Structure 1
Amino acid sequence: MKARSETRRPSFFWFLAVLVLPILNLAVKFRFHHPERMPQTGAFVLAPNHYSEIDPLVMGAVSWKLGRAPRFMAKASLFKNPILGWMLRTSGQIPVERAGSKSHAALRAAEDLVEKGRMVVVYPEGSLTRDPDLWPMRGKTGAMRIALERGIPIVPAAHWGTQELMGRYGKKLSLFPRKTIDVIIGEPLDLSAYREGPIDQATLLKATAELMDAIAALLAELRGEAAPAERWDPAKHGQKETGRLDG
């Protein structure tokens, strides 16, 4: 596969790009940091931070601009929006239910994408961060499970500025004046230590904690400030989590 062949090959993504990108480009200026780290071939998991309902649209545009057709594991509530939901379903995105058999079905669907050499975007937090300062919170194990069980890379990423386009829990877009969104792509996480033994819950939790630290470090680089030493844990703050991907 040649570099950027995914964006050059005719697909429904062309329609989405023509429909979405002109409007988004009017509202947003993207500043990319280390875009060369985005794998141009093969399957991998892209694991970004998550603090706005508009994140999937932003990261979808980012992936396309960097040469890959984006497929997502996104919380099912996003699919209830008539327009966004139609675009997500038609382009092969994967709705993630809160728990149960449908959640496992989503994991199997993501694995199918992996087998076809496609990227899959998974928000390891499972829902919008509860951290009051929008830092990444404690992660779920779904993203790491896919990477370890399928033997593919996992690439952390972070973006900052999306909250100006749509705030956390916001429902309305603020298109003007034009916003700047910084995006940084990290190096693939070194998973060699986790591939030697069984992929049990303890391994997944430890690897996921390392992933969330990597995402927080990338976000700290964009924000120009130090990330909290520990990830926000909703359970410790009496908060109920929604939109779970995996335990």
Structure 2
Amino acid sequence: MSEIVYPPVIMAARGLFKALDLKFRLEGAERIPRTGGAVLVSNHVSYLDFIFAGLAAHPSGRLVRFMAKKEIFDHRIGGPLMRGMHHIPVDRDAGAASFKAALTALKSGEIVGVFAEATISRSFTVKDIKNGAVRMAVAGKVPLIPITLWGPQRMWTKGHPRKLLQRRVPIAITVGEPMYPKRGDDYDKATRDLRAQMSELLEKAQRGYPELPKPGQEWWQPAYLGGSAPTPEEAAALDLKELEARKSTRGDG
């Protein structure tokens, strides 16, 4: 597979991270296989997560093909970049085609990145997830690898202004123990186990984060740690309201 676009994008991102003096803490990178397919499942706290989740695979010399909503591929700037990096478009009205494309990538030895929560978590906890990632790993006969991110929400997340040039932000990237679901397993139980491991990894990163919010900046801290982010229940209500507004704008029934 030709890699004309991905390496320069990585170099540009690393140059920017260095200029901003971002403080990375990467744990568990050795759990990313150096060869063969895998499904990398990340939590979702910001619009920049695919960049930081991809960094987890760099020590193993791997590139991650992320599944992302089709609208990004339709963007006049983002689209060519996404296609050039061989990411996988997800059309929610044609999910079978997206699944097939991801499975083809897995069987050819690629790592496929999935944000199983589908949308950014406003509560900064792990939302309920569906069993698609588990089914994908089973169909591809590859490991399922959980990963969590903490810190990127301070730079750009839903409902808050972009601060892409913010300096010295600590970014925690944690790779969990691989899971090996197989055909015949209870996929819903495996999904619950996946979410539990992701929640545990995320809470550990949040509690061990080297900074606390300054006065007036408590929005980026989850409610259970005293922050002013919505609770999971409040976040779910906000998501539902947003979804209903989107349907109304499109004229859906």
Q: Please tell me the TM-score bracket, short chain as reference.
A: 0.7 to 0.9
Partner of residue 73 from structure 2, selected from 79, 82, 85:
79
Name the amino acid aligned to 2:176.
G
Shift of 1:60: 2.5
Summarize deviations over 1:132-174 as a string: whole Å, max 9, x none.
2x00100022211101122210000101111112133446243
Summarize deviations over 1:62-117 as a string: whole Å, max 9, x none.
3335421110111233334433332111111111123x32x211111101111111
Name the amino acid aligned to 1:53.
Y
**8 Å Cα contact 2:43/2:149 also seen in 1:** yes
Match of 2:30 in 1: 36
* Alpha-carbon distance change, 43 to 29 in structure 1, aligned in 2, over 3 angstroms: same
1:19 aligns with 2:2: no
Match of 2:195 in 1: 212
Which stretches of structure 1, 4 residues or longer, exceed 6 Å deviation after superposition?
225-228, 233-236
Structure with more relative contact order (C-alpha pairs < 8 Å, separation 6 or more): 1
Match of 2:110 in 1: 118
* Alpha-carbon distance change, 237 to 206 in structure 1, aligned in 2, over 3 angstroms: farther
* Alpha-carbon distance change, 107 to 25 in structure 1, aligned in 2, over 3 angstroms: farther
Q: List aligned pairs for 1:47-196, cutoff 5 A.
A: 47-98=41-92, 100-101=93-94, 103-130=95-122, 132=123, 134-170=124-160, 172-191=162-181, 195=182
Structure 2: runs of 5 or more not aligned: 209-221, 225-230, 244-253
Provide the identity percentage. Answer: 29
**How many pairs align?**
223
**8 Å Cα contact 1:47/1:123 also seen in 2:** yes
| Secondary structure of 2:166 counterpart | coil
* Alpha-carbon distance change, 105 to 171 in structure 1, aligned in 2, over 3 angstroms: farther
| Secondary structure of 2:23 counterpart | strand
Measured in 2, the distance between the counterparts of 1:15 and 1:113 equals 22
Name the amino acid aligned to 1:13.
Y
Measured in 2, the distance between the counterparts of 1:205 and 1:35 equals 27
* Alpha-carbon distance change, 14 to 235 in structure 1, aligned in 2, over 3 angstroms: closer
Measured in 2, the distance between the counterparts of 1:21 and 1:90 equals 18
* Alpha-carbon distance change, 171 to 97 in structure 1, aligned in 2, over 3 angstroms: farther
Give the TM-score of the pair, scaled to structure 2.
0.77
Rg comparison, structure with higher value: 2
Query: Once structures 1 and 2 are overlaid, which stretch shifts more, 63-72 or 152-161?
Result: 63-72
Name the amino acid aligned to 1:123.
F
Shift of 1:19: 2.9
Give the TM-score of the pair, scaled to structure 1.
0.78
Summarize deviations over 1:39-79 as a string: whole Å, max 9, x none.
11110000010021111122233333542111011123333
**8 Å Cα contact 1:35/1:185 also seen in 2:** yes
**8 Å Cα contact 1:52/1:170 also seen in 2:** no
